[in-house]
């Protein structure tokens, strides 16, 4: 098994991907291809004292930046680490591809270079969302802001398969994000999607309200990309507000500072429950090869977990199962 | 000025509306009409030692329950406290109407009994959303799950006027909730609404991402009712998760318990920043009279604040201004 990793995504991408790859090849039975500026990657591997032969580097002169136009950069930046990575993935040189870079470009590359699975109308980006007691899969998180009911049905099927094969959930329950739990609630899109999901070969839970999203009452949450984006970003914004306000309050007096000091291990453990790094990256579902978007500010641990996730994604034959299941619709 | 209050909404509605009314008439220059079971309301007023003549009771035999169908109950439950309240409001017996009851029925009553303002296609329920340093107005919070761009334009105008006249914001900035800040981002609805808002007589800020919703970077946030409902309920769900997880962590050891004890005032002040009771109720905008939906679990303070809000809503001539401004579109 060989995982292809774009080493040139976020700010600390070279450090993070080098460290994560070293840890991954030591821990897991696989090889890694790092793509990017060769000298810089070599330097990072040396820093980590890596002397093995399970990591190779393919040099890429160019980088797709976060501010680049997704479609244009995939078409024109032929020597970028991301496009080279996609082409290597396409020709079967590696089994899966991970990048911390431009999300739109990753989606565009998945669609234009790797191509959609037959029977799938739209590819979705899914996110593993931390909940009270674990995690739940949320899709679509922003790739498709205008959806038809059939897209949501396909998201539900893909999410269900991914949850079972990669996250290890047996017969995952699938919920439809809605404004109320009753069957007749919702906008036109969601009402029609409800009927399709209820008649699909999945463990359909029914509607869930946004209030229950953090409670993890289902294993897979389906919504259009506009709503998914609102859910993810609002969660991020509220967590920021919450932690910074708490910090501010704790600085207010001498005794509160002492109190906060006594609570340090608990506050740390609390924060870790909402730590994205433990949960790997966001799989792009609906394309013909395993592709994972890792967080732009991933560190070594996050990259190692994304590589592990890519391995299970590949071994679980998720894409074959999606192909089979969409044929049955 | 007379505020009509439905005394029969939530579980503690009679206690809360009686207490809130007593405090309101003592503090503010107005009279209150409480509608509901006369003997029960009288008992509550006596409990609060109220002997003045600024609160009157109109008896209502029936109640619209939360599980009742909104439209049917407004049509058929003629002797319910809510329908009697609406009719009193319509005939000009009072200036504004407040209820803690069934939100759908309140919307239906507003539309069928009080009627829409000419030029307004849809009435919106708006909510005052607590942010890092204050509050912001969010609309629509769920009345309209399928929207056209023109509805969002009308929401923007109504929200802007309400923010200025009732919340006291000078030239309130209006943001459109979107998946990105750039002009060309969004789904079809939001892209078209952007053009309309940019050409409206409001202080249009542009798009805001959900990440910035809790930061309060604008005074008014506009979205369709589906997205608004997701924002409100997810905020509620995450706040629940945060507070209960924090509590759990703090119980883990002896020293963390002591630490939490030392932080008690800070934790309290922290929680209060997210306390809906301070912010009054949710105004129904787009109908011909001031109507406010108070939270189902309102206490006396929340009701007093809602009455105060109804007074400013009326005095600010919000509805006249909405009528004038929509004529100009």
Q: In this prediction, does ipTM exceed 0.90?
A: yes
Of the candidates B188, B213, B262, the beta carbon closest to that of A146 is on B188
Extract the residue ranges of chain A whose pLDDT is less than 50: none
Structure-block tokens of residue B300: 């006396």
Is B266–A249 a contact, with Cβ atoms under 8 angstroms apart? yes
Q: Which of B262, B275, B296 is best to mutate for the A interface (most A CBs within 10 A)?
A: B262
d(CA A101, CA A240): 23
Query: What is the predicted pLDDT for the residue at B233?
Result: 93
pLDDT digit string, tens, across residues B237-259:
998 888 888 888 778 788 778 77
Q: What CATH number was assigned to the domain covering residues B124-278?
A: 3.40.718.10
- Whether A51 and chain B come into contact, CB under 8 Å, resolves to no
Q: Is B135 helix (H, G, I), strand (E, B) or coil?
A: strand
d(CA B189, CA A55): 47
- Whether A10 and chain B come into contact, CB under 8 Å, resolves to no
Q: What is the DSSP letter of B294?
A: -
Domain A122-281 coded CATH 1.20.140.10: no
pLDDT digit string, tens, across residues A236-292:
999 888 888 888 877 878 877 877 777 777 777 777 776 666 677 999 999 999 999
Is A235–B232 a contact, with Cβ atoms under 8 angstroms apart? no
Domain layout of chain A by residue ranges: 1-120+286-316, 122-281
Is B234–A179 a contact, with Cβ atoms under 8 angstroms apart? no
Query: What is the predicted pLDDT for the residue at B197?
Result: 97
Q: What CATH number was assigned to the domain covering residues B1-120+286-309?
A: 3.40.718.10
Residue A265's closest chain B neighbor by CA?
B256
Structure-block tokens of residue A248: 């501010």
Bridge partners, B292 (sequence order): B98, B283
- Whether B187 and chain A come into contact, CB under 8 Å, resolves to yes
Residues B120-157: b if buried by 16+ CB within 10 A, e if exposed = bebbbbbbbbbbeeebbbbbbbbbbbbbbbebbbbbbb
Is A245–B186 a contact, with Cβ atoms under 8 angstroms apart? no
- Whether A201 and chain B come into contact, CB under 8 Å, resolves to no
List of E strands, B167-297: 173-178, 203-209, 220-222, 282-285, 291-293
Bridge partners, A6 (sequence order): A35
Q: Is B301 helix (H, G, I), strand (E, B) or coil?
A: helix
Helix (H) or strand (E) holding A323: helix A318-327
Tens digit of each residue's pLDDT, chain B (329 residues): 999 999 998 778 999 999 999 999 999 999 999 999 999 999 999 999 999 999 999 999 999 999 999 999 999 999 999 999 999 999 999 999 999 999 999 999 999 999 999 999 999 999 999 898 889 999 999 999 999 999 999 999 999 999 999 999 999 999 999 999 999 899 999 999 999 999 999 999 999 999 999 999 999 999 999 999 999 999 999 988 888 888 887 787 887 787 777 777 777 777 777 666 667 799 999 999 999 999 888 999 999 999 999 999 999 999 999 999 999 88
Evaluate whether B1-120+286-309 and B124-278 have a shared fold: yes
Is B186–A145 a contact, with Cβ atoms under 8 angstroms apart? yes
Is A215–B225 a contact, with Cβ atoms under 8 angstroms apart? no
- Whether A175 and chain B come into contact, CB under 8 Å, resolves to no
Q: Which residues of B touch A232 (CB under 8 A)?
A: 210
Q: Is the peptide bond before A169 cis (omega within 30 degrees of 0)?
A: no
Q: What architecture is domain A1-120+286-316?
A: 3-Layer(aba) Sandwich (3.40)
Q: Which residues of B touch A210 (CB under 8 A)?
A: 229-234, 237
d(CA B208, CA B180): 7
């Amino acid at each position: 098994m060989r995982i292809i990793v774009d080493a040139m995504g976020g700010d600390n991408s070279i450090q993070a991907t080098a460290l994560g790859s070293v840890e991954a090849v030591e821990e897991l039975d696989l090889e890694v291809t790092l793509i990017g500026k060769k000298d810089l990657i070599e330097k990072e591997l040396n820093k980590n004292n890596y002397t093995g032969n399970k990591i190779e580097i393919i040099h890429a002169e160019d980088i797709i930046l976060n501010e680049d136009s997704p479609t244009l950069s995939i078409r024109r930046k032929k020597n970028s680490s991301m496009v080279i990575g996609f082409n290597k993935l396409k020709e079967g040189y590696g089994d899966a591809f991970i990048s911390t870079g431009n999300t739109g470009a990753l989606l565009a590359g998945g669609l234009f270079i790797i191509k959609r699975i037959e029977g799938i109308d739209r590819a979705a980006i899914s996110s593993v969302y931390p909940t009270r007691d674990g995690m739940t899969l949320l899709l679509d998180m922003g790739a498709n802001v205008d959806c038809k009911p059939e897209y949501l049905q396909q998201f539900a099927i893909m999410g269900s398969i991914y949850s079972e094969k990669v996250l290890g959930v047996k017969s995952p329950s699938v919920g439809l994000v809605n404004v109320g739990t009753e069957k007749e609630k919702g906008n036109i899109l969601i009402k029609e999607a409800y009927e399709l999901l209820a008649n699909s070969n999945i463990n359909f839970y029914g509607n869930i309200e946004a209030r229950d999203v953090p409670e993890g009452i289902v294993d897979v949450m389906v919504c259009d990309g506009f709503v998914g984006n609102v859910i993810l970003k609002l969660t991020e914004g509220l967590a920021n507000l919450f932690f910074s306000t708490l910090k501010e309050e704790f600085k207010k007096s001498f005794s509160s500072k002492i109190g906060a000091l006594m609570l340090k291990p608990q506050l740390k453990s609390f924060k870790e429950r909402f730590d994205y790094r433990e949960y790997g990256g966001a799989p792009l579902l609906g394309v013909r090869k395993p592709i994972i978007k890792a967080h732009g500010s991933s560190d070594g641990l996050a990259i190692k977990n994304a590589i592990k996730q890519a391995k299970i994604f590949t071994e679980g034959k998720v894409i074959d199962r999606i192909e089979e299941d969409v044929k049955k619709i």
